[in-house]
Chain A
C-alpha cells in the first residue's frame, strides 16, 4: 500500500478522536431525566391528561408548540380546541401552569431536565419567562 504506515496511523488517530466522547463518559452514572408529574396543579386535576394524550404529546409536543406559535402570533388564534373538544389558552404559561414546580431549581423543571438529558436546546426561555423569574 502506498504510504500504508501513514494511512493506518491516521486512521487509528481519527478513530481514537471520534470515540473520545464515549471513553470520556464511560462509567458515569446514567440516571435519566427527572420527570416530575406531582406538581400541585397536576395533583388537583381530575383527569390527568395534558392538552393531548400523553403518548401523542411525548412524540409531538414540539410540533404542537410550533403550530401554537404560528396560530397565536400570526393568525391571532389563541385558543386551542383539542381532539376531545376541550379548550386551552395558547401560551407557554398554560404548559407551565401544570408543569412548573416552584419547589425545584430551573434545571430540574419538567421540560428542562428532559431536554438536558436528550441534549436538546430549545431557546424558548431566552424570551419567555419562568414564573419564578417574574418580579425579579
Chain B
C-alpha cells in the first residue's frame, strides 16, 4: 500500500510538473506584442548630463522659496501630510548649517547659519540609491537623471538608508487624501513606495523646463553640464560654487552659486 501510494504521488508530481512546464514554454514562445515602435518625443529637451545651479543671490524673500516649492509639489501631486514623521517632500528649504554640515565654523553669525538653502535630490553621477535598490526601481537614465519607477518599488527603503542627502521620502500612509488638487497628468503615489525629485522628466520630454526652474525667476538654472556653451557649465566652470557632501564621491549635479557677501 505505502509503496503504491509513493509511486502514485511521484507520477502525479511528474504530470503536474510537465503541465506547468508546458504552459510556461507555450506562454514564453508567444514572443513580441506587435510590429510597432517606440520613440522619444521630438519636441523633448535632451542632454548628456542634466544639472542645476542654485543662484542664492536670487532668493531673497520667503516668497522666492515658496514659489518654487509650491510649483514642484503641485504638479507632482506631493501630499501635504502636515507632520514630520510621515512627511513627503521633493524640494524644500534647509538652513546653511544643516544643508552643508561639514562647512561650518563656530564664529559664523546666526544669520548666515540660518540662511535657507533650496535642497532637492542631487541626481548624483554615482548614486548610492541606485546601487542599493534591489529591483532597479530607482535607476539612472543616460542623461544623468536618477529616476524612479514607482510600479516596481517594493518599499524596502534601502535607498533611504543609502542616500546621504536625505532626499527620499516614503509613503507611510495613503497620500491621496492629503493632495489639495490632483494633477491628472502625473500619477499620485500609492501606499508603501519611496519617492523623490525626478528633475521633471515628464516636462523635459514635452520641451518644458522643470517646474521649479520655470517659477524661480532665474534663481534656478538648468541645463546640460556636458555642453560647454550651456549656462550651467559656464557658471560652474568660471564661478565659485559649492555642492553638498562632495567628499562622498557621489558627484552631485546640483551646484550652489554663493557669490561673495550674498549671505547676510
User: Which residues of A are at the interface with B, using a C-beta cutoff of 8 A?
Assistant: 52, 56, 60, 63-64, 67, 69, 71, 73-83, 87, 89-91, 93, 123, 126-131, 133-136
Contact = CB atoms under 8 A, between A and B. Distances in A.
Contacts of B39: 77, 79, 81, 87
Interface of B: 33-41, 44, 139, 141, 143, 147, 149-151, 181-185, 187-191, 201, 205
A69 B151 contact: yes
6 contacts: A76-B141, A79-B38, A80-B36, A127-B187, A135-B181, A136-B181
Contacts of A81: 36-39
A73 to B, nearest CB: 5
Contacts of B40: 76-79
A90 B252 CA distance: 31
Q: Which of B37, B185, B201 has the most CB of A within 10 A?
A: B37
Contacts, number: 77
A134 B184 contact: yes
A26 B149 CA distance: 44
Given A60-B33, A69-B151, A126-B190, A76 B181 contact: no
Contacts of B141: 76
A56 B159 CA distance: 40
Given A79-B38, A79-B40, A67 B184 contact: no
A60 B30 CA distance: 11
A127 B182 contact: no
A131 B147 CA distance: 25
B150 A127 contact: yes
Contact of B34 (A60, A127, A135): A60
Q: Which of A73, A91, A126, A133 has the most CB of B within 10 A?
A: A73
